[in-house]
Each structure stands twice: as C-alpha cells, then as structure tokens.
Amino acid sequence: MILIADSGGTKTDWTLLHAPSPYVKHDIVTTFKTQGITPIHMSVAEIRSILEKELLHELAVFPRAALVQLGAFEHSFMEKLVVYFYGSGCTPDHAPMMVRILSEVIGTPKVEVYSDLMASARALCQHEEGIACILGTGANSCLYDGEKMVQNTPALGYILGDEGSGSVLGRLFMNAIFKNPMFKDIRDEYLSDNKLTQADIIEKVYRQPMANRFLATTSLYIASHIDNPLLAQLVIANFRQFFRSNIDPYKRKDLPVHFVGSMASTYTEQLNEAARLEGYTIGNIMQSPMEGLIKYHR
C-alpha cells in the first residue's frame, strides 16, 4: 500500500492507495487531512506530535474489515506501507529528518521525502520533460527532465522575488490603489468592503506577522472584480514578470509550462494571455498536485 502526503503550512492532504486487485474496485482506499508540516519552521517534537496524534489516529480508525479484504492484515499493515511525503520546506537539509521521524512514527523503513516543487513537477509533467511551476501565496518553478529537477530559478520570497504569486499581486495592488489616481474608485470600494484604512494596511504589512498572507488575501477582491480592465491588467503584468524573471532563464520556449496552485487556477485566462505575450505555451493547470501525484505513483 502507498501513502502519499502533500503538505503545506496550513494543512497536509493524505491519500492511501492500494495496488490493483480483483477484490478492489478503486485503488484509492481513503483520503484525509492533518495539520500542515513544514520542517524548516517546526521542531522535531512538533512534527512528531502531529503525526502521532493526527496521522496515526486516521490510520487507526481505518475499518479493520476493509484491511482484511485488501489483504493488508492488521499486524503488518503499517510496516508494509510505502510513504511518499512531499512538503514545503523539505529541502535537502531537512528531508533526512522527515524520513527519520516518519519511519519511527509509522513503523516502516520505506519512506521518501521530497520538496513541494518536486511534487508539482511529478504531478504536472509525470515522466515527460517540461517546466513545472507553483503559483499560490508564493511562487516557484523548475526545469524537469522527466525524472529529476535539473534547474531552478531561486524564488527568493515575496520581498525579493515570488513574481506571479498572490502576495506579490497584493503588493502591486496596494501600490496601485494608493499611488495611481486611476485606481481611486477601486481603492475606496476595497477599503470600505474590508473595513480597512491606509494605516491599517501599513500596520499589517510592516508590523504584524504573515504579511505575505495578508497581501495574498487581496486576490479574493481582485478575482471577484476581474472584469475591471485595470485589475485584469494588473494580474497579467504580475504573470508576465513571472515568466521574465523565472522562466526565461531556462531558455526553453520549446517546452510547455505547467502550473499548480490557486493563482494559476483562479486566473487561467490572464495566465494564458501573459504566456502568449511572452512567447510560451501553457500545459497543465491544477489547483492541487494530489491528483497528479496519484497518477504518478500508480
């Protein structure tokens, strides 16, 4: 049996798969969620606590009768699991720690840990060459040869980089509504709808934690008003800068560019327009990589 995890800062999506069998109509046995696990920001004790209290609970409540039917007898169920954990912050420095914790908690030696960018590459490209991108609150990309990532433009975070992301779109939006007179009506409506002032925004961006997440929330307003040409052009400009800063360095306009994440799935029309203007072809677009990861690991 295969256990796949797609983890971010907020939540982890888990899918348990079973090898094809005449007794099983569908190979997806069960799906569930736990808290997000990010080893770059969490201690060993915090990660272990989430796995022990939430993951083991979900596996323990799995119906025993179903395990017998699947041929995964209770006493050997956990040790026969093959675990593929994909997560934010699972860098080469932190992956070995995650392997050790997962092996100890679950009780299986068969654990592999990869970054969220590898999750996107495998989900989007499968075993084909391509450019895989993440466009959500943050942004990232890589050149993938069908087996491994061979090049990566550093994302650098929302202050120094993350072009195309929700947080950078929020930064562009805030700059426009307070500095561009053409955005006056948009500014007044946005501030009124969200009960904010300019001082409130300065406080949230410069003095409160998670400024990137706050900036990314502006996408909710922008998406609901995307028929406004000014906002549509703001989104397109954000995406065009993503292509110029992150995708141009690969020098592979012959390859399709694939995307996973909320920004890509929300603004598909604007993403396609930006790609056209920059000379790229869009491939697959997914809200979440899990569907693609299931297909890959089958």
What 3-state DSSP class applies to 100? Answer: helix
The residue behind tokens 């490209």 is: 125
* CA pseudo-torsion sign 269, 259, 87, 298: positive
Q: What is the predicted pLDDT for the residue at 132?
A: 96
Q: Give the model confidence (pLDDT) of 95-125 as tens digits.
A: 999 999 999 998 888 999 999 999 999 999 9
Q: What is the predicted pLDDT for the residue at 285?
A: 96
Q: What is the predicted pLDDT for the residue at 69?
A: 52
What 3-state DSSP class applies to 27? Answer: coil
Q: Give the model confidence (pLDDT) of 230-246 as tens digits.
A: 999 999 999 999 999 99
Q: What is the predicted pLDDT for the residue at 58?
A: 86
CA distances from 214 to 79, 188, 210, 241, 278 (A): 42, 18, 7, 21, 29
Q: Give the model confidence (pLDDT) of 195-212 as tens digits.
A: 999 999 999 999 988 888
In the predicted model, residues of the chain with pLDDT beneath 50 are 22-25, 65, 73
User: Is the fold of 2-109 the same as that of 127-287?
Assistant: yes
Give the DSSP letter string of 266-298. Answer: HSHHHHHHHHHHHT-EEEEEES-SHHHHHHHH-
Ordered by start, the domain boundaries in the chain are 2-109, 127-287
Determine the topology of domain 2-109 in CATH.
Nucleotidyltransferase; domain 5 (3.30.420)
Strands 11-17 and 28-35: antiparallel
> What is the C-alpha to C-alpha distance for residues 289 and 88, in angstroms, rounded to an integer?
13
> What is the C-alpha to C-alpha distance for residues 124 and 132, in angstroms, rounded to an integer?
7
> What is the C-alpha to C-alpha distance for residues 240 and 286, in angstroms, rounded to an integer?
19
Backbone angles phi, psi at 290, to 5 degrees: -60, -45
Alpha helices in 25-115, H assignment, sequence order: 44-50, 56-60, 64-70, 74-77, 95-102
> What is the C-alpha to C-alpha distance for residues 130 and 244, in angstroms, rounded to an integer?
17
Q: For the structural domain made of 127-287, what CATH number should be given?
A: 3.30.420.40
Strands 139-144 and 130-135: antiparallel
Q: What is the predicted pLDDT for the residue at 65?
A: 46
Q: What is the predicted pLDDT for the residue at 78?
A: 67
